[in-house]
Amino acid sequence: MGTTIKCIGILTSGGDAPGMNAAIRAVTRAAIYNGLSVKGIYRGYKGLVTGEIKEFKSQNVSNIIQQGGTILKTARCKEFMTPEGRQLAYDNMKKEGIDALVVIGGDGSLSGARIFAQEFDVPCIGLPGTIDNDLYGTDTTIGYDTALNTIIDAVDKIRDTATSHERLFFVEVMGRDAGFLALNGAIASGAEAAIIPEDSTDVDQLEEFIKNGFRKSKSSSIVLVAESGKTGGAMHYAERVKNEYPQYDVRVTILGHLQRGGSPTAHDRILASRLGAAAIDAIMEGQRNVMVGIENDQVVYVPFAKAIKNDKPINRELVNVLRELSI
Ligand code: F6P
C-alpha cells in the first residue's frame, strides 16, 4: 500500500511522560527524512480545536531527547469530546494541510484518536506515552521505565529512615487503575509487598501480607500501594493497620507527580526513538488507526480498539517473585 500523505501533525495528550520529547524528535526527524513535512500541534487536542499549530523543522526538535515533559505541552481537552469540537479540529487540520496525525498519549488520548479517525476518515497513528504502562500491545509504554527508576530512588531513601525508626511505610505510587508501577517498583526496590488493583477483588492483600510474616523477622517494612480507587490508596491501609495493629509505627508517603518528571532513561529514549520512526514507517506503508508498540523487541501495529479495550494483564510470575523474595 502506498500513501498520498505529504504533511503530518503531531501532538502529545493526557498526562505527560518522560520520553515524550524523544518521541516528538523521532517522529519529526523520521518524517522529514522520508520527505514529509511536519506540524507541531500545541496542548494536545486543544491545539487542534483552537488552531495552535506550527511548522516543525529538524532544528525545532534539537536538544530535547534528554528533557522530561513535552515541548508541545499537553492537556486533557473537554471540547474534543464533543462532535462540535472534533469538527473544529478537522477544519483546522484541513486548513493547515495536515493529512495524518501522530498522537502520543495514554488510553484516553488514543480513544480520542480512534473516534476522530472514524468520524472524519483521517489516518491516525498512536504512540503509547504514559507512565502507567496500561496499554495492551506493547511490552512497555514511553515513560514507564523512567517513572519506575524514580520510584526506586525514592523508596531507597525512604528505606533509610524506615530502618532507623523501625517503621512500617506505605508508599503510594501512580498508575491509575494499573499495578505495574507498584508491583515492579516493589520488586526493584526490595519492598516487602505491593498492593495492586489487579488483585483487589479476590484477596485482602493486607491480611495476606500480615499472614505471611510481616515484621516477624524484620524491624521495618515498606509496602508499595497502587493509587487506584480499587485499592483505596496508601492512607486506607495505614488507617487499617493503626486500628487493627496499634503496636506498629506506621507512616505514609505519596510520591505523586514527581513520578512524571525527570530526564528519560536510556530505555525510554530508545523506545521513543524506535516508536517514533516506526510511526512514520506505518504512515508510509498506508497503515491507519493503529497504535505502534514493541513486543518481544519487534515493532507491532495494534488496532486502537485492541490497545485501549483489552486489559493488559499483570504477569503473575512477578507477584510470586515478590512474595518469595520478601521473606
Ligand atoms: O495517566 C498518568 C497519570 O499520572 C496517572 O498515573 C494518574 O492517575 C494521573 O495521570 C494523574 O493525572 P493528573 O496529572 O491530571 O492529576
Q: Which of 132, 134, 145, 268 is catalytic?
A: 132
Q: Please confirm, yes or no, whether 160 is among the known catalytic residues.
A: no
* Distance, CA of 118 to CA of 134 (rounded, Å): 23
Closest CA to 137 of 325, 305, 300: 300
User: Letter for the amino acid at 133?
Assistant: N
In residues, how long is the chain? 327
Query: Using 50, 70 and 90 to split pLDDT, how confident is the model at 33?
Result: very high
| Grid-cell match 500491545, residue found | 137
Rounded average pLDDT over 17-38: 98
Q: What is the pLDDT of residue 212?
A: 73
What single string gives the DSSP state of each residue in 138-201?
Answer: SSS-BTHHHHHHHHHHHHHHHHHHHHHHT-EEEEEE--TT--HHHHHHHHHHT-SEEE-GGGTT
Q: Which residues contact 158 (CB under 8 A, 6 or more apart)?
A: 169, 171, 222, 253
C-beta separation of 10 from 40 below 8 A:
yes
* Distance, CA of 223 to CA of 187 (rounded, Å): 11
Q: What is the pLDDT of residue 297?
A: 98
Classify residue 320 as exposed, middle or buried by CB count within 10 Å of its CB (0-12, 13-18, 19+). Answer: exposed
Any ligand 1 atom below 6 A from CB of 106: yes
Secondary structure class of 12 (helix, strand, coil): strand
pLDDT tens digit string along 74-116?
Answer: 998 999 999 999 999 999 999 999 999 999 999 999 999 999 9
Ligand 1: which atom is nearest the Cα of residue 260?
Answer: 4
DSSP, res 81: G
**187 C-alpha to ligand 1 centroid (Å):** 22
Ligand 1: which atom is nearest the Cα of residue 176?
Answer: 8
Secondary structure class of 117 (helix, strand, coil): helix
pLDDT tens digit string along 217-233?
Answer: 678 899 999 998 888 89
* Distance, CA of 182 to CA of 224 (rounded, Å): 6
**109 C-alpha to ligand 1 centroid (Å):** 13
Grid coordinates belonging to 191 = 519492598
Q: What is the pLDDT of residue 316?
A: 93
Rounded average pLDDT over 293-299: 98
Ligand 1: which atom is nearest the Cα of residue 76?
Answer: 15
